Amino acid sequence: MGIRARLAHIFGKLGIRVLRLLGRAATTAPGRVILAVDPGFISRVSGQVRHSRAVITGTNGKTTTAALLEGMMAGAGWKVVRNASGSNMAAGIATALVDHDAISGCDALVAEVDEAALAGVAAMVQPDLAVVTNFFRDQLDRYGELDRTVDLVRRGLERVRGTACLNADDPRVADLADSLPGEVDTVFFGLAGEASGGERDAVDPAAAGLDTQFCPRCGGRFTYEGRVFGHLGDYRCPDCGWRRPARHVVGRILDADGAGLLMAIDFPDGDSLVAKLGVPGAYNAYNAVGAAAAARAAGIDGPAIRAGLEAFTGAFGRMERLSLEDREVVLALSKNPVGFDQILRAVADDAGTGAVLVGINDGHADGRDISWLWDVDFEMLDAGEVPVVVSGTRAEDMAVRLKYGGLDLERLQIVGDLEGALERAVERSPRGARVYALLTYTAMLGLRERLERRGLVGEMWRG
């Protein structure tokens, strides 16, 4: 390793240390310094990764999929470097490489990468493994149309060698297979809809308001034999006949409750495993299957994959649990209608729910436009009697949304300050019950910072 990379490493290390001493998160700032000192740092260091350089992209599930894959690889005894959630551009990856001393060698790099940053990052990392989770409308004010996002990912995948694991149940993701470089192996993964609580009847995509309704090949309108959720499922184009490709790795949900999943995963070689996952929801089942497909492509065996699945307790923000005054508090990052609906479903299905906190901010990272709140199925909260506390910079708007959704106003309370709102929700919840906090991105960061100061949650940006 040249002097430039060594210098960059030392500067980066120093930056990370100083930020942590100040009690700040060391995510992208040190990375910017590293890349200023040595613009080739990422390609130099990732060039000596021993086994696998994986990139994970898509709208939802990047962090969880990356964390699961990391766990599976760690289960096989590998030393893995993974970038922290929220720092999924080049600078964040540079920070992670320095923080984990990748300069002195590691077995794998698992990088979650923002769709828009994929082409640039892939040029540096030269991935031999890629996972694309799904494409949903998200943060429109940052990226424009979904088409543009798909194109950005398509361009990024041109840099991938080795294996691309694609979610076959999402038409836009499956369609990427045809534009992959010839030498790339495609592994399609998905969920068996029959066992996943999906709708088996043919669905009219327009009526269901799906993010993807039209065939990317001919523009025909999809019909569905069954859906798992959103536009994910067994689609078919009646005009050109294109349909969901055959899946190589298939997950089946055997049992589910508000706290977790029991699932089976079948591999193409006839191998199969059953594992308990400590996070709920079909969206997490997708994350598990995507990670398992990638791990298998990297040569990880079944027992290590299973160990990785079972050790998982939630990546940053996705259903993180902590204990507060005899209640279990579940923090859930909820940043778009599909994500919100999935978590609301889990909340509604959980008989142990004692109170719900909804924290809505409209910071830049959340998206300034909060009209999407009207697309979320908050009516799921109407049944039952649990108190609902709303908070954040747009607490009032959220309260209006719930009021029009028909929520009994006796159950509703507005507390602007997030920490105060959590305390109120905990107070109003019976002891031993679960308090769900559904939070937009900056609301999650803000609340978590306060909880971190009180020692209630671990430092979020590590490992």
**Positions in the binding site for Zn ion (CB under 5 A):** 215, 217-218, 220, 237, 239-240, 242
| For Zn ion, the closer CB: 147 or 194 | 147
Instruction: Report angle CA 388, 390, 392 to the nearest 5 degrees.
Output: 160
The CA R_g of the chain, rounded to the nearest whole Å, is 22
| For Zn ion, the closer CB: 6 or 221 | 221
| For Zn ion, the closer CB: 202 or 240 | 240
| For Zn ion, the closer CB: 39 or 220 | 220
Distance of CA 155 to the CA centre of its chain: 21
- List alpha helices for 330-417, DSSP H: 337-349, 395-405
Q: What are phi and psi of 75, to 5 degrees?
A: -65, -25
Min dist CB 181 to Zn ion, Å, is: 24
| For Zn ion, the closer CB: 137 or 217 | 217
Give 84's DSSP letter: P
Cβ neighbours of residue 62 closer than 8 Å, sequence gap 6 or more:
56, 85, 88, 112, 113, 133
Min dist CB 286 to Zn ion, Å, is: 24
- Whole-angstrom distance, CA of residue 444 vs CA of residue 86: 12
> Three-state DSSP class for 102?
helix
Min dist CB 240 to Zn ion, Å, is: 3
Min dist CB 147 to Zn ion, Å, is: 16
Min dist CB 109 to Zn ion, Å, is: 37
Min dist CB 221 to Zn ion, Å, is: 9
| For Zn ion, the closer CB: 188 or 242 | 242
Under a CB-based contact definition with an 8 Å cutoff, are residues 58 and 167 in contact? yes
- Whole-angstrom distance, CA of residue 141 vs CA of residue 329: 31
Min dist CB 238 to Zn ion, Å, is: 8
| For Zn ion, the closer CB: 102 or 174 | 174
Min dist CB 171 to Zn ion, Å, is: 10
| For Zn ion, the closer CB: 173 or 215 | 215
Handedness of CA 92, 339, 163, 278 (dihedral sign): positive
- Whole-angstrom distance, CA of residue 152 vs CA of residue 115: 6
Min dist CB 214 to Zn ion, Å, is: 8
Going by C-alpha positions, the residue among 256, 258, 457, 255 that lies closest to residue 353 is 258
| For Zn ion, the closer CB: 189 or 242 | 242
Name the pairing type of β-strands 320-324 and 327-333.
antiparallel
Going by C-alpha positions, the residue among 302, 304, 271, 305 that lies closest to residue 288 is 305
Q: Please, how many CA atoms are within 13 Å of residue 425, restricted to the half-sphere of its CB?
A: 34
3-state secondary structure 136-196: CCCCHHHHCCHHHHHHHHHHHHCCCCCEEEEECCCHHHHHHHHHCCCCCEEEEEEECHHHC
- Whole-angstrom distance, CA of residue 168 vs CA of residue 421: 41
Min dist CB 223 to Zn ion, Å, is: 11
Q: What are phi and psi of 79, to 5 degrees?
A: -90, 120
Min dist CB 219 to Zn ion, Å, is: 7
| For Zn ion, the closer CB: 161 or 236 | 236
| For Zn ion, the closer CB: 2 or 238 | 238
